[in-house]
Amino acid sequence: MAFSFLKRLFGAEAQEGGSLPPLVEGAPPPEVPATDENGAASAPASSLEALQNFVRFLVCSLVDHPEQVTLTIAEKRDLTIIQIHCVKKDIGKVIGKSGKTISALRTLISNASAHTRQRVTVDVMDE
């Protein structure tokens, strides 16, 4: 019953043979990540800035002193690390109970960076 509702909602009956719906005329084609001569993806700097802004937004909404949150970026081979620096009292809020908050943040950032074929992680730095 629920499955038929979803099929009707998304118009599965109109599609034949389970094929994908046609592209809309005039719509730009989906972006394909640029690659260098070795076939490795060269991610634009804007995607890394967007990830950094996303991390800043999430962390600042968690802590008591958002004005003292700073982010730095460290590069290790093929891994980019976004390092969070904040007041010592706020570190526990960023990490969360049993590390669940930082784990969820790492999962979000890892999945968001995967479509640009980058490896990005998040670390909380103790000062």
Q: Decide if 119 contacts 77 (C-beta within 8 A).
A: no
pTM of the shown model: 0.63
- Give the CATH number for residue 77: 3.30.300.20
Mean pLDDT for 25-49 is 59
pLDDT score for 15? 47
Answer yes or no: is 105 within a domain.
yes
Q: With bands split at pLDDT 50, 70 and 90, how would you rate the model's confidence at 115?
A: confident
Q: Does the residue 88 lie in any domain?
A: yes
Of residues 106, 99, 62, the one with CA closest to residue 83: 106
Q: Calculate the alpha carbon distances from 14 to 20, 26, 69 in Å.
A: 11, 22, 51
Whether the Cβ atoms of residue 110 and residue 104 lie closer than 8 Å to each other: no
Position 71 scores a pLDDT of 95
Has residue 58 been placed in a domain? yes
pLDDT of residue 47: 85
- Quick one: pLDDT at residue 96? 94
Average pLDDT value for residue range 107-124:
91
Strand partners, 80: 75, 120
- Give residue 89's pLDDT band: very low, low, confident or very high (50, 70, 90): very high
In a domain, 10, yes or no: no
> Measuring CA to CA, how many Å separate 46 from each of 29, 59, 126?
20, 20, 28
How confident is the prediction for the chain on average, in pLDDT?
78
Q: Does residue 71 sit within a domain? A: yes
Residue 68 lies in a domain: yes
**Does residue 1 lie in a domain region?**
no
User: Residue 74 is part of which domain span?
Assistant: 45-125
User: Is residue 119 one of the residues assigned to a domain?
Assistant: yes
The number of domains in the chain is 1
